[in-house]
Chain A
Amino acid sequence: MTHFAAVLLFALFASTVFGITMRETPRRMVRYGIYCFVLFVGAAIVLSWVMYCIAR
């Protein structure tokens, strides 16, 4: 398993639980879940590039 695949799996599972537990209606659950997923993956990509630039 690649590191990025691990990030995607982690984001998928965590954002599913966050979406269900933090919002009340199904529509808002889905929206919040997608929002968390994008933030997880986006933050991982941005931080990876930051670390890459620092290391060079």
Chain B
Amino acid sequence: MATEEKKDVATEQGFVYLPLIAGWLVPGGGHFLLRKWGRGALLAASILGMFVTGLAMQGKLHSNPHDILDILSLVGDLGNGLLYFIGRLLGLGADQVQTTVGDYGTRFIVVAGLLNVIAAVDAHNLRTGRKS
């Protein structure tokens, strides 16, 4: 009984938003922090797979938006966390989307970012006890 109370106190301590931030920066990172290894690995594989597939399809990483749709796409891209910044640093992604498959690739990258945000919020919910 007393041990359980101590465990509860221990899980309540620390920075509550750490899994959220870790999950945003590294896909699956929030779940890894919470020792949810299986879920974290599946999330990481899915998000990383989608991001890499998008790049392989000559998708575009948005940088300087010109209209409202570009801004929304940039927000989606930023959801990828470190993947986006590393991709930008390495100059990955096409400058201009010239093929239909390239357009699909751009959407893959945006959706990977949005899925990563969902995964990070899920890690936050696990941390706060809203989800088990």
Contact = CB atoms under 8 A, between A and B. Distances in A.
A16 B42 contact: yes
A21 B122 contact: yes
A47 interface: no
Interface residues of A, number: 14
B20 interface: no
A26 to B, nearest CB: 8
Interface residues of B, number: 23
Contact of A10 (B45, B101, B108): B108
A14 B115 contact: yes
A15 to B, nearest CB: 9
A20 B36 CA distance: 11
Contacts of B46: 12-14, 16-17
Interface of B: 39, 42-43, 45-47, 49-50, 53, 57, 100-101, 104, 108, 111-112, 115, 118-119, 121-122, 131-132
Interface of A: 1, 3, 6, 9-10, 12-14, 16-18, 20-21, 24
